[in-house]
Chains A and B, each alone.
Chain A
Amino acid sequence: MSGAAASGIALTEARSVDLGAVEAELARLWRAPAADDGPVTTRACTSNLIAFCASPAEAAACERDVPEIVRQHPARVLLLAADAEAAPALEASVSAFCYPAGRGGRFCSEYVVLRAGGDAVQRLPSAVRPLLVGDLPTTLWWTPSDRSPPDAGKLFAQLDAMADQVVYDSRGWRDPVDAIVATTRWAGEAPPAKAISDLAWRRLEAWRRLVACALDPAVVPGALGGVREVTVEHGPHALPKAWLFAAWLADRLEWRPVRGRLTPGREIVWGFVSRSGPVEVQVRRGRAGEPEMKRVDIRWSVEGAEATRTFERLGPGRLGVAGDASGERPAVVATVEGSRSDFVARALPARGGRSLFRAALGAARGMAEVLER
């Protein structure tokens, strides 16, 4: 063992091998006899995970995440460490992440790192294809987060073609408007069976749940149909998340965007038409803070009476909701924030919710199309 890579998880010694010898080296890994007093080792693999990293820094971050991901969802991991600035070469190394199982045994997940420099980056898809374990789902985790995946052109398209699911993170997109348009176009052309997971969307689940609960017709009858105004405040780099949130509301509540005004770096204001009248949505950027949604105010009107609910991020893992009724104390709920690795691990087995996300993406695109810039 080369040492613990994460709590309770250890990485076996990595061996550099020729590309053509990767499978043989993996097989050797499982044939190697255990020491007499060593733990019983079980190879665990429920899917293929291709993790694409566009720089050494991204690859290093990804390597830190992989142990926790495979602990939660055992997979053959193919980490693609690209470095366009490096000399053109393609190298492979093989190892395994092992973690304790019951009764003194351990489970191990195969870990293959393919490092590509210069022009060799474009050859990565051909190196990956023969290394996929047949008959298992394949997920492409696209880790570059400054641009949308389709921006990477042919390289992304080739890796995408191998995958049943693509996981990416829109948090950090430099040009959210163009990225949303490009992503929506790609998602629209993807086969219906392909799962698409934006980690920003997954991070929104706690907000969505809280809003859905607090505005449930059983709690405040008529609120959802009578929404007049929504204000979303977010920190730097969280515009795509706030946009998706607004798009989700628009899609689910059947609002049609009719106009939008972008003030770069400050806010976007959209006008929608709902069945019961106009709705205004303001998405405002805070000057500092974490890349998260900070606060959402939803104001509605039912039979002439107005009311507001305020949803607020109170700190890591805590969301609060308060109404405007006097005497009611703000309620606080725990949220599963987790790390990036947690969200990727949870995305891997997910099969449902695709149509909802795609519909929200479609609404996000509609909102992009009405923007005056």
Chain B
Amino acid sequence: MPERDEPNPLAAGLSQSLLAQPCSLAIFGGSGDLAKRKLVPALYNLALDGVLPANFAVVGIGRSDFDDETFRDVAREGVERFSRRRLDANHWPDFERSLFYHRGSVDDPASYAELKARLEKIEAACGVSGNRVFYLSIPPDRFRTCAEQLRAAGLVTPSDGPGPFTRIIVEKPIGHDLASAREVNETLAQVFDERQIFRIDHYLGKETVQNILVMRFGNAIFEPLWNQKYIDHVQLTVAEAEGVGTRAGYYEGAGALRDMVQNHILQLLCHVAMEPPWSLDPDVVRDHKLEVIQCLRPVTGDDVDARVVRAQYGAGFHRGDAVPGYRQEEGVGRDSTTETYVALQLFIDNWRWAGVPFYLRTGKRLPKRASEIAVHFKDVPQILFNRDRDAPLASNVLALRIQPDEGLSLRISAKLPGPQVQVYPVKMDFQYGSTFGEQSPEAYERLLLDVMAGDATLFMRRDAVEASWAWIDPILAAWERSGARWLPEYDAGGWGPVEADRLMQSSGRRWRTL
């Protein structure tokens, strides 16, 4: 009897390591902003690249009074406005034919039965043999209802059966602390096997984040230096120029630590600090990333004040325009103590990183949007060219720019031309844009393709999510206990509060200017 899970010898050597399998993608929240701005344009670009499966359908699900035609019009508008490539009139009709809309409510059991009937009809017409991906672009408090109703309607197949697959994609936030994250995960686990759950963190789909591992493990020169013997400290910065904007409703209950550090930044940290995985198998890579989180030295009690700085942006100027402070933003409480900035000093207690401080900072209303990992190497001995203690040589810095101007630079010391020995820091720079020319795919393109191909490498596993929260929780608890009624302020358009500078200065270091 032929098996469905036999290897496909024809797949070898194709430009993606795995083939996206014929499937339908059902998007809960299909009439929402994420679908329009990100998901549909990502799918369209995948279609233009010829990597979507031939037998494929997208079904948007929402309460909006759309029909297929309205959904296609909205999708077209989304592609025209947000796609990295222009709408191609030759190809749009083929793509558009695979778009459908089903009107229904997440809370209404009847609409799941209707959805099932609609999916079966669409799949028969499109030649999809029952493989389904459900994308939950809905508030996390609806995950339970949605997952349970999917199961009740017979829309979930077992992960280890011979039949078609069912996969589910959930967006962050996965909980707001360890207990709630466990609850969300447990809810999903009641219905889906862990192998069917894809927790998306779009940061991990960025080319430059994926390049961190290539740079570390695809070059011979870095890895021997990548440890406490040669590295003085590491700085991770994720700076946003925007204020809270229209997200105050969500952000007030989250703050920078939950919104950025618990997921994006800790994942970046894992890429920088993980041990070499012995294969690129998704679980091997994720095991090694998990180890980093498990080795994080807990920040508890008095340590929280000493090693964590939180702050809120006050009124200021952004690119010459006056902007309000956080508490003056629409939807934000006038007595809000939600942090819009956080800086941390942390340690990874393993052999490789013993004693090396990692400094993380993220904030809103900083001077510009910029994400960077800067590895600061130890100084050369204070002899020869570095003997002047009043003017020490600048240390070598390897900076990995995540966005914008993706690339990396290395600061080295060089001799200024002339008869005297004068040493000056110069920067060797590699820019993705100028070297490889073509635009990088959007993160969602890669991630959606991976789900269709069943590759979970770039998705957060349950244990990693919960380990991250377990590390974050004591900080949140200490803040809760402190009962602070105000937070340090920093001027909008500045690089953060003076307290964050002191966090570095106490050890003779300083934040990089981006």
Contact (Cβ within 8 A) B21 A205: no
Chain A binder among B7-15, B307-315, B381-389: B7-15
Flag whether A163 is at the interface (Cβ < 8 A): no
Contacts A72-B437, A74-B434 known; A206 to B50 CB distance under 8 Å?
yes
Flag whether B63 is at the interface (Cβ < 8 A): no
Contacts A221-B6, A318-B91, A349-B436 known; A212 to B54 CB distance under 8 Å?
no
| Shortest distance between the CB of B6 and any CB in chain A (Å) | 4
B125 — which chain A residues lie within 8 A by C-beta? 327-329
Q: How far is the CA of A226 from the CA of B6 in the complex (A)?
A: 13
A352 — which chain B residues lie within 8 A by C-beta? 13
Q: Which residue of B lies closest to A72 (CB)?
A: B437
Flag whether A57 is at the interface (Cβ < 8 A): no
Contact (Cβ within 8 A) B127 A218: no
Flag whether A253 is at the interface (Cβ < 8 A): yes
- From A44, A71, A212, A303, give the contact of B14 (CB < 8 A): A212
Q: Mark B15-49, 1 if CB is under 8 A from A, else 0.
A: 10001111000000000000000000000000111
| Shortest distance between the CB of A325 and any CB in chain B (Å) | 8
Q: Mark A194-231, 1 if CB is under 8 A from B, else 0.
A: 00000000000110111111111111011111100000
B19 — which chain A residues lie within 8 A by C-beta? 209, 212-213, 216
Contacts A101-B433, A221-B4, A252-B10 known; A213 to B20 CB distance under 8 Å?
yes
Contact (Cβ within 8 A) A321 B54: yes
Q: Which residue of A lies closest to B14 (CB)?
A: A209
Contact (Cβ within 8 A) B437 A71: yes
Flag whether B124 is at the interface (Cβ < 8 A): yes
Q: Mark B105-145, 1 if CB is under 8 A from A, else 0.
A: 00000000000000000001111010100000000000000
A308 — which chain B residues lie within 8 A by C-beta? none
**Which residues from 235 to 291 on chain A have a C-beta closer than 8 Å to any C-beta of chain B?**
249, 252-254
* Interface-centre pick from A101, A223, A325, A331 (highest chain B CB count, 10 A): A331
Q: How far is the CA of A76 from the CA of B188 in the complex (A)?
A: 55
Question: How many residues of chain B are within 8 Å of chain A by beta carbon?
Answer: 47
B7 — which chain A residues lie within 8 A by C-beta? 217
Contact (Cβ within 8 A) B2 A331: no
| Shortest distance between the CB of A68 and any CB in chain B (Å) | 10
| Shortest distance between the CB of B166 and any CB in chain A (Å) | 13
Contact (Cβ within 8 A) B127 A216: no
Q: How far is the CA of A215 from the CA of B97 in the complex (A)?
A: 22
Contact (Cβ within 8 A) A336 B49: yes
Flag whether A317 is at the interface (Cβ < 8 A): yes
**Which residues from 318 to 363 on chain A have a C-beta closer than 8 Å to any C-beta of chain B?**
318-319, 321, 323, 325, 327-329, 331-336, 345, 349, 352-353, 355-357
Q: How far is the CA of A102 from the CA of B439 in the complex (A)?
A: 13
**Which residues from 57 to 78 on chain A have a C-beta closer than 8 Å to any C-beta of chain B?**
71-74
Contacts A44-B435, A72-B438, A318-B91 known; A213 to B13 CB distance under 8 Å?
no
Contact (Cβ within 8 A) B14 A205: yes
Contact (Cβ within 8 A) B94 A210: no
Contact (Cβ within 8 A) B13 A318: no
Flag whether A46 is at the interface (Cβ < 8 A): yes
B11 — which chain A residues lie within 8 A by C-beta? 212, 216
| Shortest distance between the CB of A308 and any CB in chain B (Å) | 14
Flag whether B480 is at the interface (Cβ < 8 A): no
Q: Mark A173-194, 1 if CB is under 8 A from B, else 0.
A: 0000000000000000000000
Flag whether A107 is at the interface (Cβ < 8 A): yes
Q: How far is the CA of A42 from the CA of B125 in the complex (A)?
A: 53
A209 — which chain B residues lie within 8 A by C-beta? 14-15, 19, 50-51
Contact (Cβ within 8 A) B435 A74: yes
Contact (Cβ within 8 A) B4 A334: no
Contact (Cβ within 8 A) B10 A215: yes
Contact (Cβ within 8 A) A333 B8: no
**Which residues from 420 to 439 on chain B have a C-beta closer than 8 Å to any C-beta of chain A?**
433-438
Q: How far is the CA of A326 from the CA of B94 in the complex (A)?
A: 20
Flag whether B55 is at the interface (Cβ < 8 A): yes
Flag whether B390 is at the interface (Cβ < 8 A): no
- From A74, A249, A335, give the contact of B50 (CB < 8 A): A335
Q: How far is the CA of A102 from the CA of B404 in the complex (A)?
A: 11
Contact (Cβ within 8 A) A333 B10: no
Q: How far is the CA of A164 from the CA of B50 in the complex (A)?
A: 29
Flag whether B490 is at the interface (Cβ < 8 A): no
Q: How far is the CA of A249 from the CA of B2 in the complex (A)?
A: 19
* Interface-centre pick from B1, B21, B437 (highest chain A CB count, 10 A): B437
Contact (Cβ within 8 A) A213 B4: no
Contacts A209-B51, A253-B9, A352-B13 known; A217 to B3 CB distance under 8 Å?
yes
Flag whether B5 is at the interface (Cβ < 8 A): yes
B433 — which chain A residues lie within 8 A by C-beta? 101-102
A213 — which chain B residues lie within 8 A by C-beta? 19-22, 53-54
Contact (Cβ within 8 A) A219 B2: no
Contact (Cβ within 8 A) B434 A44: yes
Q: How far is the CA of A80 from the CA of B94 in the complex (A)?
A: 42
Q: How far is the CA of A186 from the CA of B51 in the complex (A)?
A: 33
Contact (Cβ within 8 A) A334 B2: no
Flag whether B52 is at the interface (Cβ < 8 A): yes
Q: How far is the CA of A354 from the CA of B433 in the complex (A)?
A: 26
Contact (Cβ within 8 A) A219 B21: yes
Q: Which residue of B lies closest to A215 (CB)?
A: B10
Q: How far is the CA of A46 from the CA of B436 in the complex (A)?
A: 9
Q: How far is the CA of A325 from the CA of B124 in the complex (A)?
A: 10
Chain A positions within 8 Å of B, measured between CB atoms, are 42, 44, 46, 71-74, 101-102, 107, 205-206, 208-219, 221-226, 249, 252-254, 302-303, 316-319, 321, 323, 325, 327-329, 331-336, 345, 349, 352-353, 355-357
Chain B positions within 8 Å of A, measured between CB atoms, are 1-15, 19-22, 47-56, 90-91, 94-95, 97, 124-127, 129, 131, 405, 433-438
Q: 6 additional contacts, CB 8 Å, given A331-B54, A333-B94?
A: A74-B434, A74-B435, A205-B15, A221-B6, A333-B50, A356-B12
What are 8 A-B contacts with C-beta separation under 8 Å?
Answer: A208-B10, A213-B54, A214-B54, A217-B4, A218-B21, A219-B21, A219-B22, A224-B8
Which 4 A-B residue pairings sit nearest by Cβ, starting from the closest?
A: A222-B2, A356-B13, A212-B10, A221-B2
